[in-house]
Structure 1
Amino acid sequence: MFNNIPPITRNIIIINVIVYLISNFLFPQLYDIYDMLSAYYPFSPNFRSWQIVTHMFMHAKMGDGIGLTHIIFNMLTLWSFGPILEQRLGGQKYLILYFLSGLGAFFLFNLWNFVEVQQISSSLNSLGFNVDGFLSGAHVGFTGTAESIAQQQGLVENLKAIMSTPMVGASGAIFGVIAAFATLYPDAKIMMMFIPVPIKVKYLLPIVIVVSVFLGISGNAGGIAHLAHVGGAIVGFLLARIWRKHLYRFN
């Protein structure tokens, strides 16, 4: 059955599984693999240029957060929607869709990170904290009243969290695939785990996007990069709209 999956979708699934096995089972003590290949905020000292691509093949560590469920859900979703799109678009367009959606996810997620960093930095500067020195690695102390120091400490912890928390997983790219599917097959009906009846994707996807935007900007993300999903979906939607007019002309 697995051999019946079109080659690009099949190979993407294989690469994700291999990377997961290597990072969690073959070398479980070397979690530096996660530091190397997961995507950090571009202005973090942990960021490396290749992470823009490699993060799409990393998933939550075994036993950490959503753990194994993360890669299982992503790969099952790709298995469900990927083959149809790969056959409809052709291998080249499908591959472009996948990776550009992943890049869109990285961009939007870190654009919001940038906005948050600027807000935090502005607040810290107004409290007399040397943000530039802190970000350059210098030892910077807190000054001012007890209340001001408490505020600075909380803001610095938020800043550290943005700098040190990586983004992992193919979810952004897969949301691009789902959005492209919804654009090309808007009346297709699918079943969701918590929805007992089939629902057309043209109704379901906007709901998911609105919820993801709300969770992403409200701070109720729960460890999930919701805005990355939105970024991937936007790219998938735009590409499908562009290509939809020319599919029969070029394929």
Structure 2
Amino acid sequence: MSRYDALQRNQDVARMPFNLPRVTKTLLIANGIGFLLQLLLGDDRLVALMLWPWGDVAYDPVGALAPAFMPWQLVTYSFLHGGFLHLAFNMLALAMFGAPLEYTWGERRFMTYYLVSVVGAALCQLLVGSYALSQGADPYPTIGASGGVFGLLLAYGMLFPNQRVMLLFPPIPMKARTLVIVYGLFELGLGITGLQPGVAHFAHLGGMLFGWLLIRHWRGQGPLGGGGRRGPNIRIVR
């Protein structure tokens, strides 16, 4: 990246709280509308938009018929949230990591990346949930933009590896690359051990995985390295 580009990006980032790029702003508004609909209509009216596991229609613990999986759920689940804090943390991360990525990539590439991360997260959660259903577990829905947000976190760490970021809890500064590694290992550990039930850890990992695969594809690299036709240049800010 040239010095002029770096200066321009820093100016753009400085304006982000007041002048978010269009796609990032649209996603924030869409998630806000989704949460407002949950408050107005109730979750019961929106269950068909949540991500349900693939398998035979079954009954949940209270005796209500659980909706079957439908293709649109791969996207719609990401605009619903489990509470205000769930929404607030996801939207804060979307603004923090999404805006600089959109300024760097442009609207179309950023939107493509975000949707791939969201769908990739859904596919991974679909596998986990469907396997649990086949083993006799009760059907449960998945909601939230966290899969897409974790994909953005992965991309931010790859494009701006040495950018200093601050954790909220605890408030520890670290490089973006380190943050990605820490969060990735943390989610993997929780997903395997099941120490934090009720959170779709494998969806988070799926968003990161599919985001990583897409960036490698754009760089003209295969999933495991090397090979392939050289794709569009993806700048890395050192």
The TM-score normalised by the length of structure 1 is: 0.73
User: 5+ residue gaps in structure 2?
Assistant: 1-15, 58-66, 220-230
Q: Which has the higher contact order (CA 8 A, sep 6+)?
A: 1
**Structure 2 match to 1:201:** 176
Q: AA paired with 1:34?
A: L
Please tell me whether the aligned partners of residues 183 and 241 of structure 1 are also in contact (alpha carbons under 8 angstroms): no
| Equivalent-residue separation in structure 1 for 2:131 and 2:34 (angstroms) | 32
What SS does structure 2 have at the residue aligned with 1:203?
A: helix
Residues 218 and 13 (structure 1), Cα distance of their counterparts in 2 relative to 1, 3 Å cut = same
Q: Does 1:57 align with 2:71?
A: no
Q: Which ranges of 4 or more aligned residues in structure 1 deviate by more than 6 Å?
A: none
User: Percent identity among equivalent residues?
Assistant: 35
Q: AA paired with 1:4?
A: N
Describe how 1:34-49 pairs up with structure 2 within 5 A. Answer: 34-45=46-57, 46=67, 47-49=69-71
**Structure 2 match to 1:243:** 218
Q: Does 1:27 align with 2:41?
A: yes
Give the Å deviation of 1:107: 1.1
Please tell me whether the aligned partners of residues 178 and 236 of structure 1 are also in contact (alpha carbons under 8 angstroms): no
Q: Does 1:103 align with 2:119?
A: yes
RMSD of equivalent CA atoms: 2.0
Give the Å deviation of 1:115: 3.6
Instruction: Name the one with the larger helix percent.
Output: 1
Give the Å deviation of 1:242: 3.5
User: 5+ residue gaps in structure 1?
Assistant: 61-66, 121-155
| Equivalent-residue separation in structure 2 for 1:204 and 1:187 (angstroms) | 10
Q: AA paired with 1:100?
A: V
Please tell me whether the aligned partners of residues 191 and 199 of structure 1 are also in contact (alpha carbons under 8 angstroms): yes
| Equivalent-residue separation in structure 2 for 1:33 and 1:201 (angstroms) | 39
Give the Å deviation of 1:247: 3.1
Q: Does 1:227 align with 2:202?
A: yes
Post-superposition Cα deviations, 1:13-64, rounded to whole Å, max 9, x if no partner, equal 001101111221x224xx333312111102253122211110010101xxxx
**Structure 1 match to 2:32:** 17
Please tell me whether the aligned partners of residues 2 and 10 of structure 1 are also in contact (alpha carbons under 8 angstroms): no
Please tell me whether the aligned partners of residues 54 and 129 of structure 2 are also in contact (alpha carbons under 8 angstroms): no
Give the Å deviation of 1:248: 6.5
| Equivalent-residue separation in structure 1 for 2:154 and 2:145 (angstroms) | 14
Post-superposition Cα deviations, 1:110-163, rounded to whole Å, max 9, x if no partner, equal 222344345x2xxxxxxxxxxxxxxxxxxxxxxxxxxxxxxxxxxx4xx22xx2
**Structure 1 match to 2:143:** 168
Describe how 1:53-92 pairs up with structure 2 within 5 A. Answer: 53-60=75-82, 67-92=83-108
| Equivalent-residue separation in structure 2 for 1:78 and 1:231 (angstroms) | 17
Please tell me whether the aligned partners of residues 74 and 123 of structure 2 are also in contact (alpha carbons under 8 angstroms): no
Please tell me whether the aligned partners of residues 125 and 200 of structure 2 are also in contact (alpha carbons under 8 angstroms): yes
Please tell me whether the aligned partners of residues 21 and 102 of structure 2 are also in contact (alpha carbons under 8 angstroms): yes
Q: AA paired with 2:44?
A: D
Q: AA paired with 2:21?
A: P
Q: AA paired with 1:105?
A: A
Describe how 1:143-154 pairs up with structure 2 within 5 A. Answer: none
Residues 105 and 44 (structure 1), Cα distance of their counterparts in 2 relative to 1, 3 Å cut = farther
Q: AA paired with 2:110?
A: Y
Q: Does 1:112 align with 2:112?
A: no
Q: AA paired with 2:51?
A: A
